[in-house]
């Protein structure tokens, strides 16, 4: 029963990894922006670590447990996880660079170099203690490395997304307030079962599921949770009003509201003119702001004026 469950989770892991990479590639091809290349690299590195450093342990146990001693088997597993850590470091680097660009900040070569030096130094120190220390279990060091740094870097990414440079963020406030806490809580969902793990199979399964499913969040949300209007090709001048609405996927009812906003009507006046409730006007307006990547009716009016639509 347990073996069948492991096979099922492995197949699910493959499907999630393939889906995350495919969706990231789709974003890069659709929007032609470097930020989605960074997201694709993050997916490639994080899932490489997932299969090499996490599932690799199960493969090693399956093929070698009958032929070598338990002590030697544990050493080989620890070495395989240690060799997989560089993929994890590069995945964190890609995620941080993704969040920097998303929040309107610039990456710095010195920061990248310092990041890599610090993390690879930690890997070497961890490897040294694994090989030289008998009092500390290697699994505890490896868990500590993942839990501590995953907490630090995921928290940093969440803060960068949540607090962008003024007027420099590439996504709407609505999306930032979803993406930032989601990254933080996904990190907690990964770290908590691993923190308590010693040899319990159910904690290992929970960790694997949260690792693979959690790391597909960004490509899934960016494909299906938001329109990413900030990444669309530059809009030509002198668009017709209908072309503008089609470009931003504005619905017919929202089209009426955009027109009345640009005519200078208040929400209450729009409500009376279109015979809909005031709350409905506010709801439609909120969706319009998200679709057009603006934050207020003033910015919407300025966008329309800039494009010479009305």
Distance CA 281, CA 265 (A): 12
pLDDT band at 218 (very low <50, low <70, confident <90, very high): very high
Are 170 and 101 in contact by the 8 Å Cβ rule? The answer is: yes
Q: CA angle at residue 89 from 85 to 93, to 5 degrees?
A: 165
Average pLDDT of the residues in 67-85? 75
What is the reported pLDDT for 309? Answer: 61
User: For position 16, what pLDDT does the model report?
Assistant: 96
pLDDT, the chain, mean: 85
Domain residue ranges in the chain: 2-229, 241-306
The pLDDT, as a whole number, for residue 263 is 87
The mean pLDDT of 139-149, rounded to a whole number, is: 87
Report the range of poorest mean pLDDT among 40-54, 63-77, 122-136, 189-203: 63-77
Give SS3 for 280: helix
Summarize the chain as % helix, strand, coil (round to 5).
80, 0, 20
Highest mean predicted confidence (pLDDT) among 5-9, 207-211, 220-224: 207-211
70-84, 140-154, 205-219: the lowest-pLDDT one: 70-84
Contact 178, 221 (CB under 8 A): yes
Q: Which of 220, 232, 292 is nearest to 31 (CA)?
A: 232
Do 227 and 290 form a contact (C-beta atoms < 8 A)? yes
Query: In the 8-state DSSP scheme, what is residue 164?
Result: P
Mean predicted confidence (pLDDT) in 36-51: 95
DSSP reduced 3-state for 238: coil
User: CA-CA distances (angstroms) from residue 139 to 30, 81, 83, 187, 192?
Assistant: 42, 9, 14, 19, 15
- Give per-residue pLDDT as tens, 181-196: 999 999 999 999 988 8
Contact yes or no for 89/112 (Cβ under 8 A): no
CATH number, span 241-306: 1.10.10.10
Rounded percentage of the chain residues whose pLDDT exceeds 70: 89
Residue 281 pLDDT > 70, yes or no? yes
Contacts of 310 (CB under 8 A, 6+ apart): 241, 259, 262, 304
pTM for the full predicted model: 0.79
Tell me the C-alpha distance between 118 and 89, whole Å: 10
Higher pLDDT, 163 or 77: 163
């Amino acid at each position: 029963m347990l073996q069948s469950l492991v096979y099922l989770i492995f197949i699910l892991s493959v499907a999630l990894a393939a889906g995350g990479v495919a969706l990231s590639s789709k974003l890069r091809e659709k929007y032609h922006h470097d930020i989605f290349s960074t997201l694709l690299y993050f997916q490639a590195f994080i899932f490489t670590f997932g299969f090499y450093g996490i599932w690799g342990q199960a493969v090693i146990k399956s093929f070698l447990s009958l032929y070598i001693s338990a002590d030697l088997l544990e050493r080989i597993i620890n070495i395989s996880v240690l060799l997989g850590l560089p993929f994890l470091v590069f995945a964190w680097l890609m995620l941080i660079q993704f969040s920097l660009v998303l929040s309107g900040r610039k990456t710095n070569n010195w920061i990248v170099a310092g990041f890599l030096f610090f993390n690879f130094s930690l890997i070497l120190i961890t490897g040294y203690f694994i090989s030289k220390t008998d009092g500390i279990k290697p699994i505890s060091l490896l868990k500590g490395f993942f839990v501590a740094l995953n907490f630090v870097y995921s928290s940093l990414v969440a803060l960068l997304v949540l607090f962008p440079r003024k007027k420099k963020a590439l996504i709407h406030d609505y999306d930032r307030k979803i993406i930032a806490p989601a990254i933080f809580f996904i990190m907690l969902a990964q770290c908590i079962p691993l923190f308590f793990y010693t040899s319990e199979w159910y904690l290992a399964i929970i960790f694997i599921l949260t690792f693979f499913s959690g790391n597909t969040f960004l490509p899934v949300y960016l494909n299906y949770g938001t329109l990413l209007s900030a990444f669309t090709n530059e809009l030509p001048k002198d668009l017709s009003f209908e072309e503008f609405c089609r470009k931003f996927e504005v619905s017919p009812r929202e089209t009426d509201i955009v027109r009345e906003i640009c005519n200078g009507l208040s929400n209450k006046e729009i409500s009376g003119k279109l015979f809909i409730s005031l709350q409905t006007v506010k709801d439609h307006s909120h969706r319009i702001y998200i679709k057009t990547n603006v934050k207020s009716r003033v910015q919407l009016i300025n966008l329309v004026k800039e494009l010479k639509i009305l």
